[in-house]
Every structure is written in structure tokens, then in C-alpha cells.
Amino acid sequence: MKVSLGAHLIFVSNVEASKMFYRDILGLSLVEENPHFTEYHIDGGTLYVEEKNPERAKGFDQVRIGGATGIVLAVDDIRSVIEELRLKGVQIIVEPVEQLWGGWNAVIADADGNEFILDEDHE
């Protein structure tokens, strides 16, 4: 059996409104969209952003909106990225903090409270 990461999926309350954060603020490339779903590319990876959809298979009516996503976004200069995001009105959950391995992390959130870790590693 071979397992590989296909994509990341997060749920939002309003997929149309979420485009401001993912496309306009983070600058992700919007690849596909419909009334309940958007697909973005991030350096060869895929992020799906979806709202509750009555046409989805049973079980997806129990999705959680908001909270920790476990998605880590790599950045070159965490302090300048945080300041740029702050000026754009993004909620900063955790200010940049140096980790024991020498890298820096911060945590930001979209309008629904979906959290993303920003990571700046020092080589």
C-alpha cells in the first residue's frame, strides 16, 4: 500500500467571503470554484476550502468550522509577514516565538477561526 498526502481541506462558513483571505491576503492561486467550494494551489500542493453543502455525502453535515488545522505555511521572514498580515486585518493568535530547534513560529487565523502555523526555519 502506498499512501501520500493528496490535499488539505478546511471548512468555512462562507466560501465566497473566504476568498478575500486565501486569494487576496495570502495570495494563493485560485484554481477552481463553485458555490460551495474553492481550490487553491500552494507550491505544488492543494488546499480545498469548502462550506457545508447539502449535496455532499452524508457525514459531511457534521464538519467543524474553525479551530486548529495543523497546516503549516512556510515563510522566509516571519516578522515581516506578520506585520503585513496585521496591516491587512488578519487575526494573529500567537506572535512570532523562537522554538527550541532554532526556527520561529506564529499562528494566524482566517475569519472563521481556522488556524495556520507560520514557520520560518533557520538553516
Specify the CATH number for the domain of residue 41: 3.10.180.10
Quote the mean pLDDT of the chain: 91
Return the higher-pLDDT residue of 102 and 107. 107
Residue 116, in any domain of the structure: yes
Residue 1, in any domain of the structure: no
Q: Give me the domain span that covers residue 16.
A: 8-120
Q: How many CA atoms lie within 13 A of 62 on its CB side?
A: 2
Domain count, the chain: 1
Residue 43, in any domain of the structure: yes
Least confident stretch, 18-32, 62-76, 81-95: 62-76
Residue 13, in any domain of the structure: yes
DSSP letter (8 states) at residue 18: H
Residue 14, in any domain of the structure: yes
Residue 3, in any domain of the structure: no
Residue 2, in any domain of the structure: no
pTM of this prediction? 0.89
